[in-house]
């Protein structure tokens, strides 16, 4: 329809009669605007709508991608926190089991103490019965002291107490000139030599080393605490070092001036490239880490990592005092693994702590304690004689 209206051959306009003389001729009517301009505007509007829709779709896709990445990071952090919580629960369970074992041993010691008290009462009665015979009284006292020392030696590994008991028994027997006591003194001398030949265990020194490491845990650097190294300050340039001395050149040739300028430009280029390379090296740092999760520890997780390590070392100290070597070895291995996993092992302080733990870990706790059976049998055999 638009083409028919715009065609000049379809409906020719009627001829206008000429105006009479003296009357101005009317101005011709304005030509109608072409219909194609409206179609172009509509196309432009559609194009703008398409562009807006494309921009909105791109923003929606970008926002969705960011939300997906954020959800993945949150899930990873929650998984790491769950692992730390599980490890803490396991450690608490181990401490509770150790506490139960310790309570059982304390109960055994209380029973032994009750037995010792009953033996002490029996000894007092024996003192009264043997007051008329000094030798029998001395032998009874020696037997009681040796029996108590033997119990302490087996239960608590008190070598020093057993040595003191044997030396006191030998001293008491030395006051008598009876040759019948020579057999008993010979047996006591053998037990003394056997106890002196035992390897010494420095329990106090080992416990002090563990306490030293426990005190250093709060200051040990973690992998998550590592900060970038500050770039070295650029060297100061000497004033006027990069400008050629034109006055000193005098009547130098243009070739010499050109070579001087080239040398200055080369020096500046070397300085600029060196500074740029130092800056680039500070931007990118490559380091191999066996446990990448250690680099993502939050401040709360770092606190629990340090506290878990302290609990491990305290549990090892308790196992040391109770001479529980399997528990001691297990806790020491777990402590070493925790340091290697979460702490910066390149730091000198961390290496010192690891060296102390290795020294403690190499200590031997299990020592086969002998009995004082030979001395006790010698005393009892002498008493059994008529």
The per-residue pLDDT for 241 is: 43
Contact of 222 with 332, CB cutoff 8 Å: no
Six-digit token string for 177? 């000139």
The per-residue pLDDT for 61 is: 92
**Overall CATH class of domain 100-199+368-384:** mainly alpha
pLDDT tens track for 203-221: 788 888 899 999 998 888 8
Round to whole Å and give the CA distance between 320 and 201.
11
Please say if the pLDDT value at position 131 is more than 60: no
As a whole number, mean pLDDT of residues 105-115 equals 88
Exposure letters 367-386 (e unless 16+ CB within 10 A, then b): eebbebebbbebbeebeeee
The per-residue pLDDT for 314 is: 92
Contact of 343 with 350, CB cutoff 8 Å: yes
Contact of 213 with 353, CB cutoff 8 Å: yes
For the chain, give the mean pLDDT.
75
Please say if the pLDDT value at position 168 is more than 90: no
- What are the angstrom distances between the C-alpha of 371 and each of 72, 159, 162, 187, 359? 64, 11, 10, 12, 30
Give the Cβ contact number of residue 166 at 10 Å. Answer: 24
Please say if the pLDDT value at position 322 is more than 50: yes
Nearest to 302 by CA among 224, 228, 354, 226: 224
Indicate the pTM of the whole model: 0.40
Residue 374: pLDDT band by 50, 70, 90 thresholds? confident
């Amino acid at each position: 329809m638009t083409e028919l209206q715009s065609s000049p051959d379809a409906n020719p306009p009627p001829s206008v009669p000429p105006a009479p003389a003296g009357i101005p001729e009317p101005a011709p009517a304005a030509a109608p605007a072409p219909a194609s301009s409206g179609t172009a505007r509509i196309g432009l509007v559609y194009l703008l709508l398409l562009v807006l829709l494309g921009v909105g779709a791109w923003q929606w896709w970008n926002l969705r991608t960011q939300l997906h990445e954020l959800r993945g990071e949150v899930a990873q952090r929650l998984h790491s926190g769950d692992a730390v919580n599980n490890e803490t629960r396991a450690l608490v369970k181990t401490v509770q089991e150790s506490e139960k074992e310790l309570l059982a041993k304390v109960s055994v010691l209380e029973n032994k103490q009750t037995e010792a008290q009953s033996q002490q009462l029996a000894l007092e009665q024996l003192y009264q019965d043997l007051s008329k015979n000094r030798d029998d009284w001395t032998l009874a006292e020696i037997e009681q002291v040796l029996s108590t020392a033997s119990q302490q030696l087996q239960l608590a590994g008190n070598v020093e107490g057993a040595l003191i008991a044997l030396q006191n028994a030998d001293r008491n027997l030395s006051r008598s000139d009876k040759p019948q006591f020579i057999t008993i003194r010979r047996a006591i001398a053998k037990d003394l030599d056997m106890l002196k030949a035992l390897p010494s265990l420095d329990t106090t020194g080992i416990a002090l080393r563990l306490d030293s490491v426990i005190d250093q845990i709060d200051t040990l650097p973690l992998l998550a605490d590592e900060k970038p190294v500050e770039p070295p300050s650029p060297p100061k340039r000497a004033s006027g070092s990069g400008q050629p001395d034109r006055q000193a050149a005098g009547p130098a040739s243009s070739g010499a001036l050109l070579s001087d300028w080239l040398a200055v430009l080369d020096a500046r280029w070397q300085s600029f490239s060196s500074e740029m390379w130092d800056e680039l090296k500070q931007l990118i740092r490559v380091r191999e880490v066996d446990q990448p999760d250690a680099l993502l520890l939050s401040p709360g997780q770092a606190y629990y990592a340090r506290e878990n390590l302290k609990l491990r070392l305290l549990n090892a100290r308790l196992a040391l005092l109770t001479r529980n070597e399997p528990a001691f070895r297990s806790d020491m291995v777990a402590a070493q693994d925790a340091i290697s996993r979460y702490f910066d092992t390149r730091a000198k302080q961390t290496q010192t702590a690891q060296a102390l733990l290795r020294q403690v870990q190499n200590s031997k706790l299990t020592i086969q304690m002998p009995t004082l059976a030979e001395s006790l049998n010698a005393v009892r055999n002498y008493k059994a004689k008529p």
